[in-house]
């Protein structure tokens, strides 16, 4: 059999196209198989949320069925590509701000973030003033002992003037 240049060229072109198609389909299959989030990734978010049934129990350690379902929902959202903030916002929208451990700085909640630093600064200022006022009497007594009171000087000059006349 004798191959024509056109037959050789078409065979080569078909091989190149098949190779390119196979190379392009590999990233697509890798994207289709998204990795399942690990328990550590799920628990990193779950420990920031609180159980809707048990009071003051973080979601990552709560044994209730509701919390198991929430953790599974977090795993699904992570697999879909949701960020940590998006997941927390989803739970806040569904169940209210009581599900997160740290209240958002909105409304009167911002006072929770403002009052402690202000109290620390005010306390430090009061202590500073108290220590400063404790030092002043000793410093003043030392200064007064070195310099004679000016009232005696005036009195003595006045007495001298009166004696002259």
Dump pLDDT digits (tens) for 97-114: 778 876 666 666 677 777
pLDDT digits (tens, 9 = 90+) for 29-83: 444 456 788 888 888 988 888 887 777 788 888 888 888 898 999 999 999 999 9
As a three-state string, the secondary structure of 5-73 is HHHHHHHHHHHHHHHHHHHHHHHHHHHHCCCCCCHHHHHHHHCCEECCCCCCCECCCCCCHHHHHHHHH
**CA–CA gap between residue 118 and residue 104 (Å, rounded):** 19
pLDDT of residue 132: 82
Residues 116-163 pLDDT 10s = 888 899 999 998 888 887 765 555 655 555 555 556 787 788 888 888
Contacts 24+ apart (CB under 8 A), 89-95: 91/49, 95/52
pLDDT reported for residue 12? 59
pTM: 0.47
Lookup: tokens for 40: 């550590």
Structure tokens belonging to residue 128: 């500073």
* Confidence label for 20 from pLDDT (cuts 50, 70 and 90): low
> What local confidence, expressed as pLDDT, does residue 80 receive?
92
Q: What span, in angstroms and rounded, lies between the C-alpha atoms of 154 and 164?
A: 16
Task: Give me the pLDDT at residue 36, please.
Answer: 83
Percent over 90 (pLDDT), the chain: 12
Q: How far apart are CA 82 and CA 45, in angstroms?
A: 12
30, 67, 132 from 22: Cα distances, Å: 13, 44, 81
Letter string b/e over residues 16-37, b meaning 16 or more CB atoms within 10 A of that residue's CB: eeeeeeeeeeeeeeeeeeeeeb
d(CA 24, CA 7): 26
pLDDT at 35: 73
Q: How confident is the model at residue 24 (pLDDT cuts 50, 70, 90)?
A: low
């Amino acid at each position: 059999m004798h191959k024509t240049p056109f037959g050789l060229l078409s065979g080569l072109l078909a091989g190149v196209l098949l190779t390119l198609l196979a190379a392009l389909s590999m990233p697509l299959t890798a994207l289709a198989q998204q990795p399942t989030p690990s328990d550590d990734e799920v628990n990193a978010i779950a420990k920031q949320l609180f159980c809707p049934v048990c009071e003051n129990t973080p979601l990552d350690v709560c044994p209730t069925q509701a919390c198991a379902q929430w953790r599974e929902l977090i795993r699904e959202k992570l697999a879909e590509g949701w960020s940590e903030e998006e997941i927390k916002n989803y739970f806040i929208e569904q169940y209210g701000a009581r599900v997160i451990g740290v209240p958002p700085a909105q409304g009167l909640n911002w006072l929770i973030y403002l009052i402690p630093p202000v109290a620390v600064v005010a306390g430090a200022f009061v202590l500073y003033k108290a220590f400063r006022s404790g030092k002043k009497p000793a410093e003043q007594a030392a200064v007064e002992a070195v310099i004679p009171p000016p009232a005696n000087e005036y009195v003595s000059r006045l007495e001298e003037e009166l004696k002259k006349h």
